[in-house]
Amino acid sequence: MGERSDRSDRSDRNEKLASAARTAAIYAASVSVALVLAGLLVSLTGGSALEVGNALIKGSLRSPGAWGLTLTAMAPLLFVAVGAVIANRAGLVNIGQEGQLLFGAMFAAYAAVRVPGPGWLAILASLGAAAIGGGLWAGIAAVLRTWRNLPEVLTTLLLTFVAFSVMSFGLRNRWLLGDRDTTRRRHISSGEQIPLDTRLPNLHLFGNSIDLGVLIALAVAVAATAVVARTTLGARIDVLGLNPRAAQRFGVSRIRLTNGVLIASGALAGAGGAMLLLGGASGDRLSAGYSNNNGWDGLLVALLARNRVMAAIPMAFVFASLRTGSSFLASTGVDRKMTDVVQALLVLALLLPPAIEQLRRHRSRPTSAPATPAVAGLAAPTAVGGA
């Protein structure tokens, strides 16, 4: 008896191992297909795929100080991704992080150059302002969704384009974001320099200067994981995402939670904008195109993480590496747009295995069709009896 259960245990374990190995193999295969495709593209257009790979690794990890740069670039991506994961869990598709991040950066810039007092106060103020800015921009989409049932997919996107215009409007006007320094030759498209003492301090480790922002971002990711996994709020968010109708039955206010989650994800994206500005990953003053696709990339990170906050951390690191590595591409003669292609291919590649797995499971599962009428047959008499 004992022997038998032991054997079945073992075979069960073997099966699990085999399934895990198969999953890993599918992932490895589809990622390599993506990389091979990217390499082919480079080769076809006259570049050398090997050189490109080397340049990316050198720029992101191997050259002196590269680790610090990559970690600095990781902070905004991680902030955006955490917000997007939480929104995803609630079944909301916030894809306007680029605009929310830009709004956060604008609010942060306004606060950073205007808040008097010591540097740390200005840093806190601009972080708070950034969260408000991003939350405000996502809040518009939230209101449109809960009030008019407009899909947040579309409204957050459209608002991103408006955010770009707001930014250039702000930069053209001195009383908003424009450079108030009249001695400087007037640049129409750049903002005021962020004072040195209002930038995030750096830690110096092994010849790398690591921005404090990445530690804040990691702390936020850990906190978000705790909220999602351990609190009622987290459970409510999950229920809202899995079955909104059930959520309402359980006494979750759909409107309030939807608004709250969308605003929170926008606020996190906005804080990512502050990280960009105060960490200096994208220059020490606002300029046109300042968000530099950080919002989009953070969103892709979240999509790769597939609803798990912790998984966003390594993914954000990979994307940050591609970002910093791309600055080394110039030497290979390959345009840095190539990294965008690599990123999108990676997203598609990591999207495929679970979908294939699901399809396979669905096809191989014995049909549950006979069970359904039996259940219905059982339910019907009781219903009649009850009546």
Partner 1 sequence: MEFFEALGSILGFEGMYVSLFQLGVVFAFAASGEWVAERAGTLNISVEAMMLAGAFGAAFGMYLINSSIVGVLAGCAAGMLVASAQANLSHRLAANQFVVGLALNVLVLGLTAYLVSVLDLGRSRAMTWRIPLLVDIPLVGSALFGRPWPAYLVYVAMPGLAWLVYRTRWGLNVRAVGENPQAADVSGIDVNAHRRQAILVCGVMAGFAGAFLLVGQVGTFTGNIVSGRGFIALAAVIFGGWTLRGTIIGCALFAFVEALAISIPVKGYKIDSFILDSAPYVVALAVMLFFAGRVRQPAALAQPFVRGLT
Token pair recorded at residue 155? 């409204």
Query: Judged by CB under 8 A, does residue 106 bind partner 1?
Result: no
Query: Are 176 and 170 within 8 A, CB to CB?
Result: yes
| Residue nearer to partner 1 on the CB measure, 314 or 333 | 333
Token pair recorded at residue 369? 């069709």
Query: Judged by CB under 8 A, does residue 123 bind partner 1?
Result: no
Q: Judged by CB under 8 A, which of 299, 301, 315, 316 binds partner 1?
A: 299
Inter-CA distances, 264 with 24, 64, 204, 270, Å: 34, 37, 32, 10
**Cβ 168 to partner 1 shortest distance, Å:** 7
Please state the separation of Cα 100 from the chain's center in Å: 12
**Cβ 157 to partner 1 shortest distance, Å:** 5
Query: Judged by CB under 8 A, does residue 358 bind partner 1?
Result: yes
Q: How far apart are alpha carbons 285 and 292 in whole angstroms?
A: 13
Query: Are 74 and 316 within 8 A, CB to CB?
Result: yes
Strands 208-211 and 202-205: antiparallel
Q: How far apart are alpha carbons 67 and 70 in whole angstroms?
A: 5
User: Which H, E and C letters describe 39-88, residue by residue?
Assistant: HHHHHHCCCCHHHHHHHHHHHHHHCCCHHHHHHHHHHHHHHHHHHHHHHH
Q: Judged by CB under 8 A, which of 5, 64, 149, 182 binds partner 1?
A: 149
Token pair recorded at residue 91? 């079944």
Query: Judged by CB under 8 A, does residue 5 bind partner 1?
Result: no
| Residue nearer to partner 1 on the CB measure, 61 or 143 | 143
Query: Judged by CB under 8 A, does residue 369 bind partner 1?
Result: yes
| Residue nearer to partner 1 on the CB measure, 233 or 351 | 351
**Cβ 252 to partner 1 shortest distance, Å:** 21
Query: Judged by CB under 8 A, does residue 162 bind partner 1?
Result: yes
Give the contact letters, 71-100, x = binds to partner 1 (CB under 8 A), - = no: ----------------------x-x-----
Query: Judged by CB under 8 A, does residue 375 bind partner 1?
Result: no
Give the contact letters, 309-348, x = binds to partner 1 (CB under 8 A), - = no: --------------------------x-xxxxx-xxx-xx
Alpha helices for the chain (secondary structure H): 2-44, 49-57, 66-89, 97-114, 119-148, 152-172, 212-230, 232-242, 244-249, 254-279, 294-305, 312-325, 337-364, 371-386
Q: Judged by CB under 8 A, which of 2, 4, 5, 46 binds partner 1?
A: 46
| Residue nearer to partner 1 on the CB measure, 29 or 205 | 29
Three-class secondary structure of residue 289 per DSSP: coil
Query: Judged by CB under 8 A, does residue 169 bind partner 1?
Result: yes
Q: Which residues bind partner 1 (CB under 8 A)?
A: 41, 45-46, 93, 95, 144, 148-151, 153-155, 157-159, 161-162, 164-166, 168-169, 172, 296, 299-300, 303, 335, 337-341, 343-345, 347-348, 351-352, 354-356, 358-359, 362, 367-369
